[in-house]
């Protein structure tokens, strides 16, 4: 038996939980998996925005039932989901995900921590 599909808000919360677990603890006992933090931070924010967009009945912008990643920050601002600061934050998260997944230079600890903070703020702001 297969599990029912997860909703975008559930995916956002699951990714945010991964971000919080992959970040270093206050005592430094956990090594930061910086590329993984950057990736999951972006997807936490992406799914939170996608959830609100679906609640507003905004049409998907790609053929396979998803919002185009490169266009979502601007689309979400135009739809009234994100203010200009949050739009820039989502664009930064997206850029860092690209670095984490496709570029030769690894994400640095400080970059990962910044992305974690942006994602937490964005997800909690959208989903409570």
Which CATH number is associated with domain 8-127?
1.20.120.330
- Sequence-separated (6 or more) residues with CB below 8 Å from residue 52: 76, 81, 126
Domain boundaries of the chain, sorted by first residue: 8-127
Give the pTM: 0.87
Whether 92 contacts 71, CB under 8 Å: no
pLDDT digits (tens, 9 = 90+) for 65-92: 889 999 999 999 999 999 999 999 999 9
Residue matched to tokens 């995900």: 97
DSSP string, 12-26: HHHHHHHHHHHSPPT
pLDDT digits (tens, 9 = 90+) for 23-60: 665 555 455 688 899 999 999 999 999 999 999 999 99
């Amino acid at each position: 038996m297969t599990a029912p599909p997860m909703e975008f808000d559930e995916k956002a919360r699951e990714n945010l939980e991964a971000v919080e677990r992959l970040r270093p603890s206050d005592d430094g006992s956990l090594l930061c998996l910086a590329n993984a933090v950057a990736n999951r931070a972006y997807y936490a924010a992406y799914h939170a925005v996608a959830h609100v967009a679906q609640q507003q009945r905004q049409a998907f912008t790609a053929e396979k039932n998803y919002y185009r990643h490169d266009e979502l920050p601007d689309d979400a601002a135009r739809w009234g989901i994100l203010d200009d600061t949050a739009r820039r934050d989502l664009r930064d998260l997206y850029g860092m995900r690209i670095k984490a997944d496709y570029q030769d230079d690894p994400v640095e600890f400080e970059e990962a921590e910044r992305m974690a903070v942006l994602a937490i703020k964005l997800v909690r702001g959208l989903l409570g």
